[in-house]
A and B are shown apart, each in its own frame.
Chain A
């Protein structure tokens, strides 16, 4: 599908998708959003690039190992967050919140350990989606 219109639109849309997905990822602790939906959105952006440009800009197929480790590493990250809850907080999956005063902007920011868990989920979703896409798009 190498149409100029599609490629141009992709170049415009996919960065917006990526940035918005990161925004969704980090607001997900209190508001609608979170790792799963953000991961899907990032994957949507990646799929757009894959469809528009194929393998000419980025060799997806030879990077399959990277995406394999992305999703298994993401799973490990989420699991380790749970374990950290067990060792620090006394319960598996116990989460904690830290309020940190940011010096330059003079605001109180909230850091939750659940965000790390969400980051793991984000990696899993991205890794699985891209792996699936490259596997299904492979010529046999």
Chain B
């Protein structure tokens, strides 16, 4: 048995522990961070190509056979999410070297960041519903401390919101897992799917499905449960904002996909209207919130809410094309939003605030920044040739093919608002005149990650074809859950 599947968890975990031990040796920590970050991205890419070549991969932790032990399962969706996560994480990590002020902050930031990375990688790989809960907890624990790292007043306030959200969602998650366990007597997702299939009419099953949707909706900030997101994402230290909006809310979406495409397959029809309605409201409310913001980071946070609505809409179609579009949207939005957040962080670093009225004239101060910012804005606005065009195009096409005219209409109208608030932000920050000169210019450490992500966004646009093929293959795999079940249960 190959150990490749466990490495995306082992490397960041081991690195985090070593970083804790090396607290008082800054140089060694820097080298270690660089080596392991590259190692993780290498492992994740090779894992994805292995899954592409050989199908779904299984790893039995401790050698215990499923459904009794915990299994790690890597299918195409997990592989894609792992690679996306590591691209964003590596950029955020590089950015943190220019963003954080002193070594004390680095000494706390780095190990926690790797624990966070362990949690996201683990959540994408695990094939056990309780283990998913554990991975969520690892992510939340690290985020609590990372969020309040700089000790600003706004961050403490956001921290309280995040902790109440986290406790609420953990309790509900545990209740849902408990309900499922009481009913089916197993926690392994593939086994659960087998046990629930003949009993889908049982009231406990629908109740559990609803609870799972609520819990993961809380993490993914779907409309009535999005209250915590704008504060948390906007006041977090910028590399963490990029991680939060780029990958962490996608973990919630990932979990919704996993649960509804594997365990509650037969409930898809029942939940479809509900999910699509939530998606439409989320899109609309997020965009309306973003229109009213004057602070760039808050604007981006509201925009994340709106964009999650798009992804959820793709999921809610429950067609192969729709799911493929949702996965492509996830990739593309993750990269673009991370780049935008990092750009907003540069502005915040330059003047101590991301208030748009304080900034201006960036086109003369830093043309490179303006270029990268423009690419990302065009990407989120859906202007070709950036990947943003393809993400929206795929989604709308899937919706029209499936006959979902109302959600598509809402999505198109909200796109207009999206373009409007983004252009407004771009104009204010880059074009309008501003008398007061900034304290500092963007440094290489800060600009390079933004540039890499912006170029990736363009590259995704030019090379959309292979990526769309990949996401469609992933979606195809999701709609044949028997492959997943066979891979897990057949390995006994």
A75 contacts the other chain (Cβ, under 8 Å)?
A: yes
B1 contacts the other chain (Cβ, under 8 Å)?
A: yes
Closest A residue to B64 by beta carbon equals A91
Which residues of chain A have C-beta atoms less than 8 A from B204's C-beta?
A: none
CB proximity of A117 to chain B, nearest CB, Å: 11
Closest A residue to B21 by beta carbon equals A72
A29 contacts the other chain (Cβ, under 8 Å)?
A: no
A83 to B3, CA, bound (A): 11
Asked if residues A94 and B63 are in contact (CB atoms below 8 Å), the reply is: yes
Asked if residues A75 and B17 are in contact (CB atoms below 8 Å), the reply is: yes
Which residues of chain B have C-beta atoms less than 8 A from A83's C-beta?
A: 10, 14
Most chain B CB neighbours (cut-off 10 Å) among A76, A91, A93: A91
Most chain A CB neighbours (cut-off 10 Å) among B3, B17, B21, B60: B17
Most chain B CB neighbours (cut-off 10 Å) among A72, A75, A83: A72
User: What sequence of 0s and 1s flags, for each residue 51-62 of chain B, a beta carbon within 8 Å of any chain A beta carbon?
Assistant: 000000001111
CB proximity of A119 to chain B, nearest CB, Å: 15
The secondary structure that dominates the B interface is helix
Asked if residues B21 and A73 are in contact (CB atoms below 8 Å), the reply is: yes
Asked if residues B17 and A93 are in contact (CB atoms below 8 Å), the reply is: no
A85 contacts the other chain (Cβ, under 8 Å)?
A: yes
**A86-B3, A92-B6, A92-B10 known; A79+B17 contact, CB < 8 A:** yes
Asked if residues B17 and A95 are in contact (CB atoms below 8 Å), the reply is: no
Asked if residues B17 and A72 are in contact (CB atoms below 8 Å), the reply is: yes
Q: Number of residue pairs across A and B with beta carbons under 8 Å? A: 39
CB proximity of B259 to chain A, nearest CB, Å: 25
The secondary structure that dominates the A interface is helix
Within 8 A of B (CB), among A92-107: 92-95
CB proximity of B5 to chain A, nearest CB, Å: 10
A90 contacts the other chain (Cβ, under 8 Å)?
A: yes
**A85-B62, A93-B62 known; A68+B10 contact, CB < 8 A:** no
A94 to B6, CA, bound (A): 13
Asked if residues B23 and A89 are in contact (CB atoms below 8 Å), the reply is: no
**A79-B13, A86-B3 known; A94+B62 contact, CB < 8 A:** yes
**Residue of A72, A91, A92, A94 touching B20 (CB-CB under 8 A):** A72
CB proximity of B144 to chain A, nearest CB, Å: 14
Given contacts A75-B20, A90-B63, 9 further A-B contacts (CB under 8 A): A73-B21, A79-B13, A79-B17, A83-B14, A91-B63, A92-B10, A92-B59, A92-B61, A95-B62
Can you list 30 pairs linking A and B with CB atoms under 8 Å apart? A68-B23, A69-B21, A72-B17, A72-B21, A72-B23, A73-B21, A75-B17, A75-B20, A76-B17, A76-B18, A76-B21, A79-B14, A83-B14, A85-B62, A86-B3, A86-B6, A90-B1, A90-B63, A91-B1, A91-B60, A91-B61, A91-B63, A92-B10, A92-B61, A92-B62, A93-B61, A93-B62, A94-B62, A94-B63, A95-B62
For the complex of A and B, the 5 pairs showing the least CB-CB separation, nearest first, are A72-B20, A91-B63, A93-B62, A94-B63, A76-B17
Using a CB–CB cutoff of 8 Å, the interface residues on chain A facing chain B are 68-69, 72-73, 75-76, 79, 83, 85-86, 89-95
